A and B are shown apart, each in its own frame.
Chain A
């Protein structure tokens, strides 16, 4: 399925002018996706981007691949149909937090539990961008918006917890500002067989600017992000002097400083991305915020990657005819 001539990231960009607000977090995401496709040598003719509705969902228009901009919240369902019809296609879904978790929550739930073989990018800006700034299901409590002038009251959804709860088999988190993190994670997600779900914290500078400043600011991220790597201890901080400990009393992960209170490197949890229990605990951790691949445990996919075998069509009619003739029949001469 690879392209005949090696393509560069820019070859995956369509001729359309990109119409996101200058400075929108979506720009860096699309850049990382184009890089991922180039590095994997993807053939644009076999690659499909399916999206719902929202700023983020305009994504397919800007890609020089097949693209389908569908209706609000339904990209997961459309993508499922694409895979049923033609399993060999390389399918990506791009969606916003409202698209994925408000109107489309039901479809995302089922996409994940069915393990449909798509790469799912949830661009989480914790706000409705396209409809001008209303609160979304991921908005933090107290978010001021035109629909919540006194601040939101509802508990926000944690997309990672949601995905684990839905039995997603590949779950990761990224931040728009970190190209390395994006491309490393996308490469893993894309290579995964089954639904690979990636939440991307994406800054909407018009309606929710700065909600992720702690996670985006290069000066802060050493202390605010925990970049996970399978088989390595969960260390963070500029000099890796901090780490994550499992507290058996609270059944939770908690940040510690090595050397303080008798904590040694041996006490630090080693990341095991195949552990469901660890993934659940990581999903609850907020500071530092886990990024990278949180969980990756392959399982049979909804529909394999195999194309429908040649000759199936010819046999089908015969089998259909067989069913039509089943049971009691009689002939009128």
Chain B
């Protein structure tokens, strides 16, 4: 850089906190920020106004911004960034931060804060967002000195994206954004308490290999950790070497192609009967990047009681948290699997599991995923299958939460990782639509669907405006049963059909709603109109809301009642 004033060349340029923030974000490779302006972030927005290399997407609610950042992160593996002002802006991020925390998604949430001098005085739009989010972030910062800002941002991205990923929050008082200091991006990080395990315990790997070769009825159980670690290839290799059947948690969907013979689909409450039977009768459950969530294990004291359990997880605290583990393997899934595959290959280990495969094939045959077809009635499962067929399984599928989510998980075959975007741990209604915005921003050419229920879609439907403003060709498939379907299902099965407050009357006309926002709305009431509607939406560059009218009594089956063993299924 040349300067007219030779004295200034020796003196590095002083920048404001807002300028430092934008420069640091650019240094971290951030391309898009989802945010919403407000009083305490005005200096940051003024800097965004001047910045060319980072796109800012104005959502209509901060919750939309954080879910969009989340969707962006899940579909790319890169950290998602969102920005909100202090007080209500910051607290509106809370659900999205908790959502990302539960599913280990790397996001960096930046919040404005009242000026340092006003901190702690219950000032206008002040909220202790660091205090509020401490239990739901991997780490959080309140920046008290502009000199710390660059370091904090550098640390935040490092913490969010390494080890077990997760959300990090940076709270920046307004005065910090206007004060000036020299911009030095720290080349190294000083985090003595943040240890990343880089080695693999080969002794344990050998034990695991020996257990695998001895197993008669083994099952692989993969989770979101396989996807975030980028270990799908290693899973493929493991299957090639051992032929062990595989099941997955909701977060693990896409880690291994659904259309492969060894894939048993999802495990747990709404898992397939054959996956549940396989896990229940297994003599070796090999958990890989999965945390044995209660939605999967069902009643814990009956889960895998006859099985040896091997567990790989990057977070040692997950090992032994819910189930007793026989062979713990703490470490990055990809690295551990590479070592394990080496051992299996070199020693020619291959378990003898023909009878087991036979047994599973019989279960598959006897208890397939199924639904009844009724002439003239649209079945939600059929809609999901048709979305798969119309997109050759290449679409990005986002989901809301509830029946729509479970039908999507059961009937959409995921063929590659990061294509199935859903709120697993927290189960956040209203997640899918904004997440789809993040996905579409990251993949402008891709076909993106949000599979929704009529309840969930109304939780963040304001984001249709963001979608239309940014010309995002997102397709929303509402499986409209005019009820809060999953809650109604529980009421029918376990609460004597007391349908307490699950009927959604007074809904908007979704076709008109689409029209009001400048999107296209289609109501679909006959099975034969499903495919043409999907084709039209996919081929159009406009955003579409497809309102599929389905019947209220359709249920998600199989279902393991809460607190039961997973071999105990309704409607299998």
Partners in one complex: no
Give chain A's interface residues, CB within 8 Å of chain B: none
Give chain B's interface residues, CB within 8 Å of chain A: none
